[in-house]
Amino acid sequence: MEAAITLLAQGNGDAKVLAGGQSLVPMMNLRLAQPGILVDVNRIPGHDYVRRQGNELIIGFLARHEDVKQSKVVREACPLITAAYEFVAHGTIRNRGTLCGNLCHADPSSEMPAVMLALGAMMEVQGPAGTRQVPAAQFFIGLYETALRSDEMLVQLRIPVAPAGQGWGFHEVSTRKGDFAYVCVGALLTVQGCRIATAAVCAAGIGGRAVRLDSVERSLVGQPAAEQTFQRAGEEARRNVSPSGDLMVSGEYRSELIEVLTRRALADAAGRAN
């Protein structure tokens, strides 16, 4: 690990980590990335772990998508991750691509940055000066941009285990299953009596980076866990975003999706709460 960090530092901004290569290599094919030094971290032993430690789920930087998707530990500790993985890429890409590489790539339509925001994940980052902890809320800065410095690596994720009784829901629309999202929405709810006690709602595909829908979350707490509440939350989500269109879909369609998918993700989360 230290050797990898040293090489990154020697690169003076011109070195890149090569993990699964599922985003970096296509970028290099298109000459959108032309690193002078590639630091292949695949043979650093002992960093492909996915384990529970107390109240945290810990995932090393070489844990492949497919291993995280299939993990019973993940399904029990953070079922939102497993639910979202139903929409992430195709088998061959998941076999090689890593969750940490995906987060470092920070594609604005990628599911996992949104999920990490909703879960309040902590990114453990290592550089020449040592290790620092970066909350997911501060990690994703913009389009393909994170808080990582050019001589730093994301070494592991520390994700709080879901509290007992928390429900989850994740919905997405894309061209085909496994393609990047036009829009995706994830939701976490706890319900006390018949009212919503806590809410976390995240989305991707609606701007330069994944986001938490703060105003939607605020509008939910204290309300009945009922269809009408979720309908209003969907409308609130739509009011608070202004997605642009691209070659595939219009901004108006994305606005429609954010409303519908928020409603559906919340209904699923409420159905699974308690």
Ligand X SMILES: Cc1cc2nc3c(=O)[nH]c(=O)nc-3n(C[C@H](O)[C@H](O)[C@H](O)COP(=O)(O)OP(=O)(O)OC[C@H]3O[C@@H](n4cnc5c(N)ncnc54)[C@H](O)[C@@H]3O)c2cc1C
Site for ligand X in 215-254 (CB under 6 A): none
Confirm if 64 and 39 have CB atoms less than 8 A apart.
no
Whether the CA torsion 45, 157, 159, 240 is positive or negative: it is: negative
- The binding track of 152-191 with respect to ligand X, each residue x by CB under 6 A or -, is -xx-----------------------xxx-----------
Which residue, 28 or 161, is less far from ligand X as judged by CB?
Answer: 28
Going by the DSSP 8-state scheme, the letter that residue 249 receives in this structure is -
When asked if residue 126 is in the footprint of ligand X (CB under 6 A), the reply is: no
> Residue from 20, 79, 167, 243 that binds ligand X (CB under 6 A)?
20
Closer CB to ligand X, 22 or 71, in the complex? 22
Closest residue to ligand X, based on beta-carbon distance: 97
For residues 267 and 169, is the Cβ–Cβ distance under 8 A? yes
The verdict on 4 binding ligand X (CB under 6 A) reads: no
- Binding to ligand X by residue 97, rule CB under 6 A? yes
Closest CA to 46 of 112, 104, 1: 1
Phi, psi for 59 (deg, rounded to 5): -130, 125
Residue 130: strand pairing partners: 127
Instruction: Report the residue number, 140 or 180, with the smaller CB distance to ligand X.
Output: 180
| CB-based contact 130:151 (threshold 8 Å) | no
Binding interface with ligand X (CB under 6 A): 16-24, 26, 61, 88-89, 93, 97-98, 100-102, 104-105, 110-112, 148, 153-154, 178-180
